[in-house]
Amino acid sequence: MFITLATDFGTSDYFVGAMRGVILARNPQARIFDITHEIPAHDIRAGAFILLAAYREYPERTVHVAVVDPGVGSARRPILIVTPRYFFIGPDNGLFSYVCEREGEVRAFHLTNERFFRHPVSATFHGRDIFAPVAASLTLGVPPEEFGPPIDDLVQLEPLAPQRVGENEMRARIVHIDRFGNCITNLTRADLTEEMIARGAHLLANGRKISSFRRFFDEGTTDEPFAVWGSAGFLEIVIKLDSAAQKLGLVRGQEIIVRLAGD
Amino acid sequence: MFITLATDFGTSDYFVGAMRGVILARNPQARIFDITHEIPAHDIRAGAFILLAAYREYPERTVHVAVVDPGVGSARRPILIVTPRYFFIGPDNGLFSYVCEREGEVRAFHLTNERFFRHPVSATFHGRDIFAPVAASLTLGVPPEEFGPPIDDLVQLEPLAPQRVGENEMRARIVHIDRFGNCITNLTRADLTEEMIARGAHLLANGRKISSFRRFFDEGTTDEPFAVWGSAGFLEIVIKLDSAAQKLGLVRGQEIIVRLAGD
Amino acid sequence: MFITLATDFGTSDYFVGAMRGVILARNPQARIFDITHEIPAHDIRAGAFILLAAYREYPERTVHVAVVDPGVGSARRPILIVTPRYFFIGPDNGLFSYVCEREGEVRAFHLTNERFFRHPVSATFHGRDIFAPVAASLTLGVPPEEFGPPIDDLVQLEPLAPQRVGENEMRARIVHIDRFGNCITNLTRADLTEEMIARGAHLLANGRKISSFRRFFDEGTTDEPFAVWGSAGFLEIVIKLDSAAQKLGLVRGQEIIVRLAGD
């Protein structure tokens, strides 16, 4: 009965308001919650990360609708993904790659059954005309199989995990910069272990060495950048009460070198 | 039981949060949905368009509250508009012109019965003190007549439709620029028919000729602007994965010439 | 059953979406409403004002969750405040000072009972891991005492009220600048009475004398700044259809002199 929305539509247009209306017109009992509508326009990787960071907080059987859809109207497929705990609806362009990596067990369906669409189906706004009404129908109990044929060749992004390069180096990257300028990397505690850190592992960001690992944002006493395990489960590069992104000139997508020993 | 909100209040102030509270304090069962709060400040035409593009997706009997209200506190009237399918509540300044054009059958009431207001009624925030509580009362089943006397002289904006100028030209305009920089005109398929396009009709925007009509955003192969029938039912001037507004220097309100033949 | 959220998290990250999920996973019946997520980052006074301006519109027993939390993870305490009408949950850093001033009768509890937290508790996102789940539990009927020990030494901001300086002067300040550029002061009708105004009281803002008191925004006929009693109950410095903040170079926190007589 819960539907979440994560899009790059912004909130200044009629887009999101229209999607909500379409859902309610089909299932007045549906409860709709925003994850965000401020995913950078057309940025599939950014959307994939935001979704990854939020989806698991929701109750089982929540329907997560995500729309970052530069290819709307073209040959890219509208899809439904079913995992043991959740449903995901949106374009087949990699937006669900990271959640699929994490969920593991995944079934996918190509949304072709126009009976569940809003008509006329525009060529430019499948969020309103396909994804929203399919989400509403799903919360009404329509079985996934009815929306279209199963598929097993989902578009995948490159994996989220960092790459090991030789014995002493990993190539990580910044996957998100949050409102406060904190730079979230793709390094998990499994990638960069306590043992590695104890042995002197450190980061290189734009040539700047970051070797201080702390526990929370307010802990620093200077304006030196440091690393902290963030709330999404990834290592973040931060500066106390300041924007690390701005101070260090870091942007999303940028490579971060992890030196496991030496410097 | 559904109330939507469309305002120019932004989301950084207490305005919208206060309106929600007022509604819930009167009808705890009310379900409140945002269309947008990012209508450009004081821009009645922009608000009228956003409302037009979203209102019909909602279930019948939805109460649409819209507030773009530079004249709040002055002689402008607070009104309730009743159509066979919907209710509209807000200031009488043209904000509901376009939806009234489309709905056709319209009854209007001047909101004068202070029994339904939040007290004290401020002179600067009728969204909270008049529109929100009246909307809540309406969802509780209060008949429209109880809120005040019927009126039949609503403030009207100039019509949304483009103007025919001679045999071979129409004067259209840009009524909205969306987040992606797509420029939405006031041309519908009834104004600019398939036949006209087949005969060579084209647009002039800032002196630039636009003669390519395509089906969706991703269809273009160059960075040439083209026209596409958008999801709100109007012709849009767009550039593939780029901002047509920025590239062509177009702004909301700007005239677009439609040449029906020749160039 | 109502929970409101007021934060400085913005809406472009996963933060707010995650908080909503945590609440719903614990109480699927909870109804969640945003006051705002655009409180300026780390600005506790701004948050305290927004909360003050909105909280009383909500039904009794609403749980107001507020998060502006630069000290997250440090020694600052997570707290629950109980007043006869409302609950407040967030960090103990002064964010609830103004509402406590107004509510008067206040009990407070230090949130220490980890049984009600989301686990693992991060050091950087107590909004998701402590405040949201405690709010959900509260709406499920858990008594306040169960969340932790009572405390009576809440962190307080300097009082909101202006200061009297000698017989003929008050020192007020700008506590908020709204979306329209209206500058909201901390002067109430009790501070600056009708009698004082009748006797010639006026304001000095950046050396500029403001002696015109009007009833609503649209009343001015020139571009002169004037004062109006705003919807939050405070005197506002405004310019008709323009930004007083920009025109007069005013910023939040700035001192406003009130001269009670002479000039």
B158 exposure class (CB count in 10 Å sphere: 0-12, 13-18, 19+): exposed
Whether the upstream peptide bond of residue B120 has omega within 30° of 0, thus cis, is yes
Tell me the sheet residues that pair with B36: B6
Closest CA relative to residue C28, chosen from A234, A171, A57, B200: A57
Closest CA relative to residue B233, chosen from A125, A75, A90, A91: A125
Do B75 and B42 contact (CB within 8 A), yes or no? Answer: no
Question: Is the CB of C40 inside 8 Å of chain A's CB atoms?
Answer: no
Q: Report helix angle A15-26 to A132-139, nearest 10.
A: 30
Residues of chain C contacting A175 with CB distance shorter than 8 Å = none
**Which strands form B31-36's sheet, in the order they lie side by side?**
B31-36, B2-7, B63-67, B87-91, B78-82, B107-110, B150-151
Residues of chain A contacting C27 with CB distance shorter than 8 Å = none
Question: Per-residue pLDDT for C261 more than 80?
Answer: no
How far is residue A121's CA from residue B152's CA, in Å, rounded to a whole number?
37
Closest CA relative to residue A241, chosen from C236, C44, C177: C44
Q: What is the mean pLDDT of residues C245-254?
A: 94
pLDDT digits (tens, 9 = 90+) for B168-192: 999 999 999 998 899 999 999 999 9
Residue in B18, B28, B72 nearest the CB of C57: B18
- Position B82, amino acid: V
Q: Give the residue from chain C lying closest to B17, CA to CA.
A: C35
Tell me the sheet residues that pair with A183: A177, A237
pLDDT at res. C165:
92
How far is residue B203's CA from residue B194's CA, in Å, rounded to a whole number?
14
Q: What is the mean pLDDT of residues C234-263?
A: 90
Question: Per-residue pLDDT for C142 more than 80?
Answer: yes
Closest CA relative to residue B84, chosen from B63, B62, B52, B106: B106
pLDDT at res. B222:
64
Scanning C109-168 for CB atoms below 8 A from A yields 122-125, 128-129
Residue C79 CA to its chain's centroid (Å): 16
State the DSSP string of B25-45: HH-TT-EEEEEES-SPTT-HH
* Contact between B123 and C178 using a beta-carbon 8 Å cutoff: no
In angstroms, the separation between the Cα of residue B126 and the nearest Cα of chain C is 9
pLDDT at res. C107:
98
Other Cβ atoms less than 10 A from the Cβ of A161: the count is 14
pLDDT at res. A214:
85
pLDDT at res. C72:
85
Residue in A10, A71, A124 nearest the CB of B230: A124
Tell which CATH architecture fits domain A2-151.
Answer: 3-Layer(aba) Sandwich (3.40)
pLDDT at res. C221:
63
Q: Which chains does B contact via 3+ CB–CB distances below 8 A?
A: A, C
pLDDT digits (tens, 9 = 90+) for B217-245: 666 666 789 999 999 999 999 998 889 99
Domain boundaries, chain A: 2-151, 163-259
Question: Is the CB of A213 inside 8 Å of chain C's CB atoms?
Answer: no
pLDDT digits (tens, 9 = 90+) for A152-209: 999 999 999 999 998 899 999 999 999 889 999 999 999 999 999 999 999 999 989 9
Q: What is the mean pLDDT of residues B194-215?
A: 92
How far is residue C51's CA from residue C181's CA, in Å, rounded to a whole number?
19
* Contact between C24 and A230 using a beta-carbon 8 Å cutoff: no
Other Cβ atoms less than 10 A from the Cβ of A149: the count is 11
The pLDDT-based confidence of B7 (bands split at 50, 70, 90) is very high
Scanning A223-242 for CB atoms below 8 A from C yields 228-232, 236, 241
The pLDDT-based confidence of B261 (bands split at 50, 70, 90) is confident
The stretches of chain C forming alpha helices (DSSP H) are 15-26, 44-54, 97-103, 126, 132-139, 194-198, 244-248
- Segments of chain A with pLDDT less than 70: 217-222, 262-263
Domain C163-259, CATH among 3.40.50.1980, 2.40.30.90, 2.60.40.3080, 3.40.109.10: 2.40.30.90
pLDDT digits (tens, 9 = 90+) for B102-124: 999 999 999 999 999 999 999 88
Q: What is the mean pLDDT of residues C232-255?
A: 93
Whether the upstream peptide bond of residue A28 has omega within 30° of 0, thus cis, is no
How far is residue C82's CA from residue C63's CA, in Å, rounded to a whole number?
9
| 3-class secondary structure per residue, B85-150 | CCEEEEECCCCCHHHHHHHCCCEEEECCCHHHCCCCCCCCCHHHHHHHHHHHHHHCCCCHHHHCCE
How far is residue B178's CA from residue B53's CA, in Å, rounded to a whole number?
12
Residue in A180, A215, A232 nearest the CB of C14: A232
DSSP state, residue C133: H
Phi, psi of A160 (to 5 degrees): -70, -30
Q: What is the mean pLDDT of residues B40-50?
A: 94
Over pLDDT 70: what percentage of chain B? 97
Q: Count H helices, E strands: chain A?
A: 7, 16
pLDDT at res. A21:
98
Tell me the sheet residues that pair with C63: C3, C87
State chain C's mean pLDDT as an integer. Answer: 94
Question: Per-residue pLDDT for C262 more than 70?
Answer: no
Question: Per-residue pLDDT for B262 more than 80?
Answer: no
pLDDT at res. B75:
86
Tell me the sheet residues that pair with C174: C185
Whether the upstream peptide bond of residue A70 has omega within 30° of 0, thus cis, is no
* Contact between A218 and C70 using a beta-carbon 8 Å cutoff: yes
Q: Is the ipTM of this complex over 0.90?
A: yes
- Position B95, amino acid: L
How far is residue C101's CA from residue C108's CA, in Å, rounded to a whole number?
14
The pLDDT-based confidence of B43 (bands split at 50, 70, 90) is very high
| Angstrom distances, CA of residue A2 to CA of A108, A237, B62, C12, C27 | 20, 34, 21, 21, 12
Chain C interface, best mutation among B5, B16, B124, by max C CB count within 10 A: B124
Q: Give the residue from chain B lying closest to C243, CA to CA.
A: B41
pLDDT digits (tens, 9 = 90+) for C93-139: 999 999 999 999 999 999 999 999 999 999 889 999 999 999 999 99
